[in-house]
Structure 1
Amino acid sequence: MPPAPDQNAAAVRAAIDTFVRDHFHLGATLRLHRSALGWDLLRAPVNVALAPIHLVMALFALAARLIGFRRFGAWLMARRVMLRTSVAQRIEADIATDLLQGAPLTPRSQALIDNYTSVRSAVAEITTSLIVLTTGWLIFGTATPGIASLTPKVSGYVGHATAVTNFPLGQTLGGAWYGVFPVSLPVWTVIAIGVALAMTASIVTTFAGIIADPVQAHLGIHRRRLTRLLFKIALAEGDAPGLAPEHILARISDIADAGMSLLRVFRS
């Protein structure tokens, strides 16, 4: 006798729970991110730069589907824009082995798995944005949703501290002097600090899953995403992957960051 549907469902849930425990709890995600010690440190900043292009293509694909060009929309959504990281490759391979039990992947199944890992990358970007926002709030007492809004704050702090330290009449008088006459930094210095902060943020993004994965595992988010993934793969037919809200959320911080930077320019 074949197993009852309830037994199959229970087996799938157990497999998903095991997968989440083996990959996304704290100790497991620390082991997982060992794969990022290498070329992922270079792939991460490239992917951060390519993420807006990925979002624009996904929006065009969605628009194409809405106006009836479903094949073109599916083709556009299937285009790979971002680089596949070593961490993503490992997760994809383990999904195929542990959850799909080595079944051959169709192009649609591979696209669904790619979409799953891209959502995880978007969550890593969101986590980095929250870290930048919290850092700006705690240190400078203001919202800094991204590197563009954090750079002037850090540049001002570094410039002021350096000028006070090097003041000829001592740091006490230097603090008083530069409290009245603000330090003016060369443009190249501000740019250099911004580049350094962007590189630091890309490294944080590479390892942001160490924070984000256990939180999502505890909240059941990873379990729900994997359940949806397996359900869509089991359908065998259907639309190509759609635009996940995580990608939009990841870009909201960029829009807020750009808006705050423009506002600062207009005020100055």
Structure 2
Amino acid sequence: MRTSEEASQDSALLLAALEKGVERYFAECRARVPAFVKRHFRYPGAWYTNRQSLGWDMLRSPLNLLWVPVYLLAQCLAWLAQRLGLAWPTRWLRRVPSGMRTRVQRYLIERTEAELLGRAAGVNPLREAIAEAIVETQGLGQLSEEREAQLEKSLVDALSQYALTRTANADISNTVFATVAGAFTLQKFTPGGIAIGMSLAGLLANRLAALDFIFGPWLGRWYYALFPVSPDACLVLVSTAGVMLLMAVFACFSGLVSDPLQSLTGIHQRRLKRMIDSLERDLKARTTGSFRPKDAYLARLMDIIDAARVGMA
């Protein structure tokens, strides 16, 4: 008959085998990161990934850009509610969707789960890794249903956050595009669509005023360069809306430039490895939601700079 000491030793061996299997599985996932990034974020794979934007994504992407501030505000309030011990508001705020799922996001989630995490249909590599570790220790046992359900929950949350980085990256690319465009065409610092729209409206107002100048357009351009006119609200609205529309179209395909650059600089690799580290940490600690990329918050900081600049103008 087994003694309590022997049972305790068996439990310790089984726990060690489980930990070994989990670590082996996630180590294999990390080893697949370089090839995965090269396949999907460098040419020609980057073109195949981003061409998924053709179609309804050209409508979904700009709507997602508008929705991201609402989502981030909800997440910040959820964090605050959790710190205050308010369970119901926390659950309600956590249910706020991150936006409409685009074809690019769905494609990357499917590829990440199948190729990077190895979770194809009917295949559970984590269970297999744990089984191998248990066989090596000559013990018995398996991945519990509770642990497997915890992994599924963490996986859904992590992949959702990873998909959100596509929207954030498009937002950041828009800001860079607006800044560069403003510097070269308007000779101004324009860190966003609002700033470049207002600058463009001012330029158009001066040009229109110069055309009606009493001494002719040529002198009018000189005069209004020294004494610029203020654009009316309608012109500002039309100009800003036009710029935002142009930037929305650019956002759909900004990955054609940003994905290879992020791949070469290692940003994609580090982000995916952080996601894998978070999944492993969540599985071991039986928690959810430790993967929270900072891309979206960086994009919001740029928006704040844009709004502050417009407010001081």
Q: Which has the larger radius of gyration?
A: 2
* Structure-2 change in CA distance of 1:221 and 1:171 (3 Å): same
The alignment status of 1:146 with 2:192, answered yes or no, reads: yes
Match of 2:139 in 1: none
1:171/1:95 CA distance change after superposition, 3 Å? same
Residue 91 in structure 1 maps to residue 91 in structure 2: no
Deviation of 1:94 after TM superposition, in Å, equals: 0.7
Note the 1:173-212 alignment, pairs <5 A.
173-179=219-225, 182-183=228-229, 185-212=231-258
Asked if residue 42 in structure 1 is aligned to residue 91 in structure 2, the reply is no
Do the aligned partners of residues 70 and 232 (structure 1) sit closer, same or farther apart at CA in structure 2, a change above 3 Å counting? farther
1:61-81 CA distances to partner (integer Å, 9 max, x unpaired)?
Answer: 221332344686466335323
Asked if residue 121 in structure 1 is aligned to residue 121 in structure 2, the reply is no
- Out of 72, 76, 80, the residue aligned to residue 59 of structure 1 is 76
Aligned to 2:305: 256
- Is residue 44–residue 206 contact of structure 1 (8 Å, CA) maintained in 2? yes
Shift of 1:181: 5.4
Structure 2: segments with no counterpart, 5+ residues: 1-19, 125-150
CA gap 1:90/1:173 in 2 versus in 1, 3 angstroms = same
Name stretches of at least 5 consecutive residues in structure 1 with no aligned partner. Answer: none
Residue 111 in structure 1 maps to residue 154 in structure 2: no
Residues 71 and 98 of structure 2 are in contact (CA less than 8 Å); yes or no, is this contact kept in structure 1?
yes
* Matching residue's letter, 1:117: A
Q: Is the 8 A contact 1:74 1:240 kept in 2?
A: no
Query: C-alpha separation between the residues in 1 aligned to 2:233 and 2:206?
Result: 15
Shift of 1:98: 0.9
How large is the RMSD of aligned CA atoms in angstroms? 2.8
The more displaced of 130-139 and 239-248 is 239-248
Measured after TM superposition, the shift of residue 92 of structure 1 is: 0.4
Is the 8 Å Cα contact of residues 148 and 257 (structure 1) preserved in structure 2? yes
Q: Which moved more, 1:184-193 or 1:21-30?
A: 184-193
Matched-pair identity in %: 26
For 2:12, the equivalent position in structure 1 comes to none
Change (3 A) 1:185 1:259: closer
User: Which amino acid letter does the alignment assign opposite residue 257 of structure 2?
Assistant: I
Cα gap change, 1:240 to 1:184, in 2 (>3 Å): closer
User: Does the 8 Å contact 1:115/1:241 carry over to 2?
Assistant: no
Match of 1:12 among 11, 29, 36: 29
| Deviation for aligned residue 1:19 | 0.9
Q: Give the C-alpha shift of residue 88 in structure 1.
A: 0.4
- Give the whole-Å Cα distance in 1 for the aligned partners of 2:204 and 2:156: 47
CA distance in 2, matches of 1:23, 1:230: 18
Letter in 2 for 1:249: L
Q: Which has the higher relative contact order, 1 or 2, with Cα contacts under 8 A spaced 6 or more apart? A: 1
Q: Counterparts of 1:161 and 1:146 in 2: how far apart (Å)?
A: 23
Provide the aligned length of Structure 1 versus Structure 2. Answer: 261
* 1:216 aligned to which of 242, 262, 286: 262
CA contact (8 A) 2:53 2:104 kept: yes
User: Contact 1:77–1:241 (CA<8 Å) still a contact in 2?
Assistant: no
Which residue number corresponds to residue 8 of structure 2?
none
| 217-226 or 231-240, which deviates more | 231-240
CA contact (8 A) 1:24 1:214 kept: yes
Specify the SS of the correspondent of 2:44: helix
TM (normalized to structure 1)?
Answer: 0.84
